[in-house]
Amino acid sequence: MGVSATAKKIKSMEIRGAGNIARYAAQALKTYAEESRAKTPKEFILGLKKAGDVLISARPSAVSLPNAVRLITRKVEGAGLDDIALLKELTIKTAGDFIEASNTAVEKIGEIGAGRISSGDVILTHCNSQAALSVIKTAARQGKDIEVFATESRPWNQGHITAKELAKEGIPVTLIVDSAVRVFIRKIDKVIVGADSIAVNGAVVNKVGTAQIALTAHEARALFFVCAESYKFSPATVLGELIEIEERDPGEIADPKKFKGVKIRNPVFDVTPPEYVDLIITEKGVMPPQAALILIKEQFGW
């Protein structure tokens, strides 16, 4: 799929999930390289950067998207090649390597995170995170006897996908509305969610509702785990930049025509403070949220 079609599908959420949009963006840059008719290396690099900008602008909150795009464009530009065929080859390889590393990271998070799950655990998850599901599924495949509560995750109801996916795996799963979390929290041992972005102070940007769940879990002394590949950490936050919270069309919540005189707002992510996060599970290992700076330094340099 080409760059503009991919960007369009990311914007409309036909392609969704923080890791997934990064992999699709990498794939689109690969396609750009395969189809580019640039006549000079300069023209090729300019086109690549422009393609990257189009993809980055599709969704603002998941830092996985700009991180993936910049990893590829900077490597290709930085190689200083003056041959178009070599530039194409390098773009295709770098994008392919990112996709492979991303898939491996999700698997690795599953293996590492499953070590933190015990037989008998009742888990709550929010939205639909491949990283979080990797932990839950791996634990179940290891023979651990677990049960899951999945929130529906309004307004897009990605929790329906999660519930069906877990049921298909044979994992006992209960679907609840987002506002029912506190009703069931006493049964929950561990909350396991994904992340769209993690800031330098360990604050977690994830599907709206996550912060309320973290607060509820904290009060009930249930553990709160976040699963995130290392490319979901935001290097820009080191310089004090804030992560933008995407606000989507109010029509996704209710038909504004039926609510004359009512303002409808639709923020799709929220920020969970690090104090409510017990552990972040990455493909490099587990860490407290306070160690986010160390990971960012290792991953992105200064």
Is residue 110 a contact point for ligand RI2 (CB under 6 A)?
no
CB of 40 to ligand RI2, least distance (A): 37
Is residue 207 a contact point for ligand RI2 (CB under 6 A)?
yes
Is residue 18 a contact point for ligand RI2 (CB under 6 A)?
yes
Of 3, 16, 51, 90, the one binding ligand RI2 (CB under 6 A) is: 16
One-letter amino acid of 172: P
Given the residues 121, 178, 196, 278, select the one marked as catalytic.
196
Cβ-based neighbour number of residue 265 at 10 Å: 8
Task: Give how far the C-alpha of residue 229 lies from the chain's centroid of Cα atoms, to the nearest Å.
Answer: 8
Is residue 19 a contact point for ligand RI2 (CB under 6 A)?
yes
CB of 262 to ligand RI2, least distance (A): 24
Radius of gyration of the chain (CA): 20
Residue closer to ligand RI2 (CB basis): 91 or 162: 162
**196 noted as active-site residue:** yes
Is residue 125 a contact point for ligand RI2 (CB under 6 A)?
no
Of 33, 99, 117, 131, the one binding ligand RI2 (CB under 6 A) is: 131
Closest to 271 measured CA to CA, from 190, 232, 188, 214? 214
Distance separating alpha carbons of residues 298 and 114, to the nearest angstrom: 25
CB of 212 to ligand RI2, least distance (A): 14
| Segment contacting ligand RI2 by CB under 6 A, of 15-23, 50-58, 112-120, 138-146 | 15-23
CB 176 within 8 A of CB 150: yes
For strands 223-227 and 279-282, give the pairing.
parallel
Cβ-based neighbour number of residue 193 at 10 Å: 26
Of 3, 6, 7, 17, the one binding ligand RI2 (CB under 6 A) is: 17
One-letter amino acid of 23: R
DSSP characters for 131-155?
A: HHHHHHHHHHHTT---EEEEE--TT
Is residue 108 a contact point for ligand RI2 (CB under 6 A)?
no
Give the torsion sign (CA, 21, 62, 88, 44): positive
Is residue 198 a contact point for ligand RI2 (CB under 6 A)?
no
Instruction: Name which of residues 146 to 185 contact ligand RI2 (CB under 6 A).
Output: 158
> Catalytic residue positions?
127, 196
Report the interface residues with ligand RI2, using CB under 6 A. Answer: 16-20, 127, 129-131, 158, 193-196, 206-207, 268
